[in-house]
Structure 1
């Protein structure tokens, strides 16, 4: 089925939903079905299990929300408050919140005004959102108070609630289970499997994603019975690979036809310069920029928003900054304010404080001004952010499947959008790699760069790589926080690149580390294992004393000065106390930022190590006991030999005594060799000890 013509699938009355649902769809404003909705909803309503693969922005969310509500409304008996009729599992908090909001829109029109009226036979459906970053006790209290017939949540939190609090959450009559972005849920396979084991077998199950993998077989077998697969592709005309041929052939692609995807070949230290060119060329656009790691997002947000005001919730304001002067009237570093003037800057990644993360996402979604979101793959799946004009992949994703999901944040529901990926010269084969995966790319037209560089307007700053790198270094010298983040971002990029799934294209040995270091504005090359035997070319270290770099933040700078003063007079006991306090702080931070599922896995590993340690200790004890036993036996043998020697008749003569002495000596030597051999053979052989156990 093609997704080129969204309206071609017809109207909602063709799928025979209830009059209630038709009225609600009209009130909400959905008049036409998309192809994926037309193909999926009738199957779900006919009690079929489905696996749905459709391009991003094709309307998959409504394809499962509408049949869920319709199936729950068809039940004759009223749903009790603690009865869960439908369960929707998603990989990220943002996607779960988005689905929750869509369900809220429908239930707002469907629920009766007086749910407690005995004469009212219409179902009053309640829904709940269960995601990480919130209090478990609050979730339980909310469920007890308001009920929850439709539950939307993330795997870790749902596993915690559904598998350990079975008396509170009643899933015996569960009718529908939906796994949204099913291929991404494989990262939480243990949690998903634990949830599936608690659910009844008689249910409808749906798997939805823009990309499906063979690795889903395990979940499919566990949760679906004779599923119907729905695949919605985009028809596209592709030219014959032979340049002399003008023949066109029809192919399928996994991205919307209204989405234009481009690539540009640039070096690592030119990427930020390229991004600033983009902001100059499209000053009124709403743009999402994807980076490889959370540390890089933090660093890029810091340098791009340096000198701007902040609203306190992770958003850099668009207004002009005041030019501040330091001691002696010298201008302080202002960063890239002159390049990003009039543009709001947002940052979002998985390690942010949950409340701040939710606030940033909501503000960017509602933003109607020129703005840019710096983020990781946490924002790549399923999110329906209105009016996104551009998607820029500053770093290609580790998982190639995420490429199409990233691009899918623009050109949704038939709207036009553009995307571009930055590649180095040694990564150019990635273009052909994506074409094989039915993602067509075209080269980016960079002619505008010459026009901007040669502009005669005096109020616009010149953009070039040398100037950008110079600004990055000046920011690192003027603010300790920026300096520290640059090092962390640089090292996290290296480790992320090493773990790339397309390692034949993205090879760590082919990276120009000198240019890479310049792109992060670091002052000195950090000592990391990955660079131990690497020759760095094109990078000049700065001689500045990094411990003397001040913090821009006045409170942190005051703390830094106090710490330096304390360090000068600190005793050994104080140093130890400080070390323990820092370790406790790191441990607390780790507990707050690591997900519940990761904590569970770490706990299981610690228990496994503890058991192995006990087994090893027991095995060593058995070896020592064996050694003592052999030693006692050897002593007894030696004593017996001496007694035999003393009892020999002296009249036997010197010759006979010498022969017996020699025999005893040889016997003792043989026993000593056997003891040494047994001792040597038993040392360190833990595998034999386990077999003994």
Structure 2
């Protein structure tokens, strides 16, 4: 699909004419012409072909299976019974399932009613959808709703579909007449632990069915394994490629002008999407995010943004500290997987329906839970604060803008050697254009060399100070900051492109500045790195309180308990030391030292007694005995020999050659 040819023809050009009321709904949605994926897929699906469809986000894949499903069920010769399912749609997330259900509901709410059909059948004349997601009802209630509504199109996530067909509804729900199975975001469904669930579901379904796999990212190897796993029979492969014009660069002059015309570049992102990257320091990411949004609001009059973070904790934290860095009157929304399903749905609906304008921008902070399949038509800008761990998610994220032929802009922030990610994505046909860093005055600074010694942006210190002042208002914000920082580092260390996103190359101190931490948390990754340029905030941690009075009271109580416990430990330690000191005289080592002193005292007395009571022998007598005669010699020489002999035997005692009793017998008595 070329950017200049975003549409493939009128709906009337389909080989099979659509049902009039379905055509009316399509016209009311403003889709006068088909997109290439719709023009390629709908005829195949309606001709009883299995299909594998790969097309960029925002290309109209949902209608490419919604319309054939409706047409197949409408054209059935025999209407389905109360307990029979006609079509099964499985999606990886409840948000996407809800969105697909809303599209079916939009069509089916406009279907004409046949009084004869209603009276002659226990089911409605035309299909009706049933949504199965975890927050709406229990599995048993799902079965009751299915029977009471007479629904024959079931839409849900793998777990709830599995429970609906093989759990609570095993003896009630029949799939013998199943016409169509659709796996939306098929690559995601066949990843991340859904394999066993899908295998059970597929083995339960009849082989005489039509199956469609739809996704924006499927490699050839992925598709082959998915075909085998999903049980498709001789499927038709539909790959809708995007090609955009790319000017050749005149290498001699460096100008972006072509001497031979323009070349076509294949892309896995919408043709109307401007995809840009900014290289900066870790400490500057928050500053750059703020400047990107302000630039888009003031220069391009953008009003609706999605900012992606790597973890739920990061979304939760930045949702609380970003307001002061956003343009005036900005409304922030938070969406991540740890929120209750009802909260996620409410947040998404509020963001979609918010009256966003350049004077009142709306910014959704999200994880990859909002990356796939969600159709928010008027998103102007996508910013990837953290590149995704799963590289497939990159195109899904930036594909939330530039949908259905609209233009859009996307940014990704890269730090240090993450610039290699640009080449990595280029190989995967996701082009990125380098863009300089934004200056304080909305000017553009040159690209940052990873090895540059350029001074850090002065705005980093002021931003860090401002964040710290915010954190000091509530100790729970400090807890969220530490949790977000640790979760980010953990996620970074598990990045799929590990040769680019290396934890040892990440500036952890600069990242801590970006997060505005009061102090560095205790974690192994920080043990061996220099902390140049880092200074803990001046905080009295004993009086640093939670804004929530109940939580603060609990903290004080726990703090007092901890003080008592510490005092108790110190008391027991002192008691052990005193007891050890009191019992030290009974230890074998001290006893030996005491005995040695006694022996030395006895020997000293013995020398004194010999000196006083034995006469000095004559020189001749000494010579006769072979003793040396020298000036100053005296009876003390014997004592030195005795001491040397005692020392030699003491060493033998120490080695275990001589027993202690033998030693004491030799030297312990006079």
CA-CA distance at 1:160 after TM superposition = 2.0
Aligned equivalent of 2:449: none
Aligned equivalent of 1:8: 8
Distance 1:449 1:233, change over 3 A: farther
User: Which shifted more, 404-413 or 135-144?
Assistant: 135-144
Aligned equivalent of 1:203: 209
CA-CA distance at 1:561 after TM superposition = 4.0
Distance 1:547 1:181, change over 3 A: farther
8 Å CA contact 1:264–1:444 kept in 2: the answer is: yes
CA-CA distance at 1:498 after TM superposition = 1.0
8 Å CA contact 2:389–2:497 kept in 1: the answer is: yes
8 Å CA contact 1:56–1:382 kept in 2: the answer is: yes
Cα separation, 1, equivalents of 2:491 and 2:566: 40
Cα separation, 2, equivalents of 1:270 and 1:480: 25
8 Å CA contact 2:92–2:185 kept in 1: the answer is: yes
Aligned equivalent of 2:573: none
1:264 counterpart = 2:264: no
Structure 2 unaligned regions, length at least 5: 446-456, 568-670
Aligned equivalent of 2:583: none
Aligned equivalent of 2:242: 234
Write out per-residue CA displacement over residues 572-620 of structure 1, whole angstroms, 9 at most, x where no aligned residue. 9xxxxxxxxxxxxxxxxxxxxxxxxxxxxxxxxxxxxxxxxxxxxxxxx
Aligned equivalent of 1:75: 76
Equivalent of residue 183 in structure 1, options 168, 187, 194: 187
Equivalent of residue 149 in structure 1, options 148, 152, 168: 152
Equivalent of residue 406 in structure 2, options 412, 415, 420: 415
CA-CA distance at 1:173 after TM superposition = 1.0
Aligned equivalent of 2:429: 438
1:474 counterpart = 2:488: no
Distance 1:96 1:121, change over 3 A: closer
Cα separation, 2, equivalents of 1:503 and 1:464: 31
Length-normalised TM-score, structure 2: 0.75
What SS does the aligned partner of 1:530 have? helix
1:390 counterpart = 2:390: no
8 Å CA contact 2:291–2:438 kept in 1: the answer is: no
8 Å CA contact 2:80–2:177 kept in 1: the answer is: no
1:166 counterpart = 2:170: yes
1:364 counterpart = 2:351: yes
CA-CA distance at 1:242 after TM superposition = 6.9
| CA-atom RMSD in angstroms | 2.6
1:249 counterpart = 2:263: yes
Cα separation, 1, equivalents of 2:328 and 2:557: 36
Structure 1 unaligned regions, length at least 5: 306-335, 455-461, 573-693
What SS does the aligned partner of 2:88 have? strand
Matches within 5 A, 1:229-628: 229-240=237-248, 243-244=251-252, 246=258, 247=260, 248-283=262-297, 285-305=303-323, 336=324, 339-369=326-356, 370-446=361-437, 449-451=440-442, 464-546=459-541, 548-561=543-556, 563-564=558-559
User: Which shifted more, 546-555 or 205-214?
Assistant: 546-555
Aligned equivalent of 1:595: none
Aligned equivalent of 1:218: 225
What SS does the aligned partner of 1:229 have? strand
8 Å CA contact 2:295–2:442 kept in 1: the answer is: no
What SS does the aligned partner of 2:110 have? helix
Distance 1:121 1:429, change over 3 A: closer
CA-CA distance at 1:138 after TM superposition = 3.0
Q: Which has the larger radius of gyration?
A: 2
8 Å CA contact 1:79–1:125 kept in 2: the answer is: no
CA-CA distance at 1:88 after TM superposition = 0.8
User: Which shifted more, 503-512 or 540-549?
Assistant: 540-549
CA-CA distance at 1:262 after TM superposition = 0.4
CA-CA distance at 1:241 after TM superposition = 6.7
Length-normalised TM-score, structure 1: 0.73
Write out per-residue CA displacement over residues 9-61 of structure 1, whole angstroms, 9 at most, x where no aligned residue. 22245332233433443344432111110000000000000011111111000
CA-CA distance at 1:300 after TM superposition = 0.4
Cα separation, 2, equivalents of 1:364 and 1:382: 16
CA-CA distance at 1:534 after TM superposition = 3.3
Aligned equivalent of 1:308: none
Cα separation, 1, equivalents of 2:226 and 2:290: 44
Aligned equivalent of 2:119: 117
8 Å CA contact 2:52–2:238 kept in 1: the answer is: yes
The total of aligned residue pairs comes to 534
User: Which shifted more, 490-499 or 526-535?
Assistant: 526-535
CA-CA distance at 1:5 after TM superposition = 2.1
Distance 1:132 1:281, change over 3 A: same
Cα separation, 1, equivalents of 2:162 and 2:486: 34
Distance 1:545 1:195, change over 3 A: farther
Distance 1:28 1:250, change over 3 A: closer
CA-CA distance at 1:520 after TM superposition = 1.3
Aligned equivalent of 1:636: none
